[in-house]
Structure 1
């Protein structure tokens, strides 16, 4: 395997195979995986695509992703776009290299592989068309210091776990996201910890627990009323 996974070589990652056969990445420094070892592909569908993208009834949708990572959530959003017009803004502090992304096995057909490759080859810091009706803006940025210039309808909150990145799960972060969302905007996350749910509620979200993906009892969906 090509070990040049990240553009920033100060952090190393390793490829792993999750329980559903799809790849995830492992960060030895953090002892943390990018996706669930119980099934990366299935987790993304269960946590972000089904309860957020497919649940949303809007035909024009602006999406913010906290943690582009492997690009799996952005990729599955494209595959499940339907008739929606999508603007997708993904933040990632540690981008993976396009040649490394080509080793990931999320695509199930040649056309899907071409789409996934294009996703990673599109330039950073500028909005570009991934496919008709889907504009992608990849930002090599940190949520803690970025300023948003548009409101969002959906937020995929896919940061590393609170034990690994506690600074990403505090009230200031969720207040910043809440302020950047449209009314009736939806945020989903795999994390269902009580302290996370209460923090979301403290900044104004209405939060519900949903059945979690394999290996997790619950997940959270928060709505800005």
Structure 2
């Protein structure tokens, strides 16, 4: 894919990127920062922790590293809560340094500005390797498609691919099955997408599916839970 990427400003003042080839943004026009907080922090990590208060480290798998916003917010969350996180993300088309260095996330929320150095550290971390980025955040990013990725057991899945209309192969039942098979019992799957087909597929794959209020500008989002009694269909290997 030859990408033409430009920076845009969303309604909450935070940046996103616009992929001219796909004619698609990396985040919601109504607020990139607010969307990530709502979908992946509030209805993702916070919700998982409420059900699993002492199950550490938390193993997270993200489909779509993109701008790095979700990974950075998770690092901040881990450091603020003193909770160890193992974070694995995939991205076949990394954002180039001349783009990510202009993104304004570290200025957007002054309450967490002192974590600013980690945003660039996540982007500069070597691809296809794993290691600690901060005291509580161990990070691995792979430059690979979901179809070719090696996955690890996950407690929480951030499914943040482009919309189904833009990248339908990532939302196929086969792709979803590859991800859900690696979810541990009690695991959580969260995404901004609210398509009926997604919900039906996740239910058929064994998840308990919820339709939840979406972030600003979006009526609904989707979350799924892997039942605690569900055995993992594939043991996988632990992330370094």
Normalising by structure 1, we get a TM-score of: 0.93
Q: Secondary structure at the match of 1:94?
A: coil
Contact kept? 1:98, 1:117, Cα under 8 Å: no
Query: Hey, what does 2:180 align to over in structure 1?
Result: 178
Give the aligned partner of residue 155 of structure 2: 153
How far residue 99 of structure 1 moved from its aligned partner, in angstroms, is 3.7
**Counterpart position of 2:30:** 38
Give the C-alpha shift of residue 117 in structure 1.
1.1
Separation (CA, whole Å) in 2 of partners of 1:107 and 1:41 = 11
Distance, in Å, in 2 between the alignment partners of 1:117 and 1:15 is 17
User: Which of 43, 55, 67 in structure 2 is aligned with 1:70?
Assistant: 67
Moved over 4 A (4+): none
* TM-score normalized with structure 2 length: 0.87
Measured after TM superposition, the shift of residue 79 of structure 1 is 1.3
Contact 1:153 1:184 in 2 (8 A): yes
* Displacement after TM superposition at 1:56 (Å): 1.7
- Contact 1:61–1:153 (Cα < 8 Å) also in 2: yes
Structure 1 runs not aligned, ≥5 long: 1-7
* Larger relative helix fraction: 2
Equivalent pair of 2:8/2:16 in contact (CA under 8 Å): yes
Question: Aligned equivalents of 1:161 and 1:121: distance in 2?
Answer: 27
- Report SS of the residue matched to 2:174: helix
Note the 1:35-184 alignment, pairs <5 A: 35-57=27-49, 58-81=55-78, 82-108=81-107, 111-148=114-151, 150-184=152-186
The alignment's C-alpha RMSD in Å is 1.2
- In 2, the alpha carbon distance for the partners of 1:138 and 1:91 equals 6
Tell me the CA shift for residue 75 of structure 1: 0.5
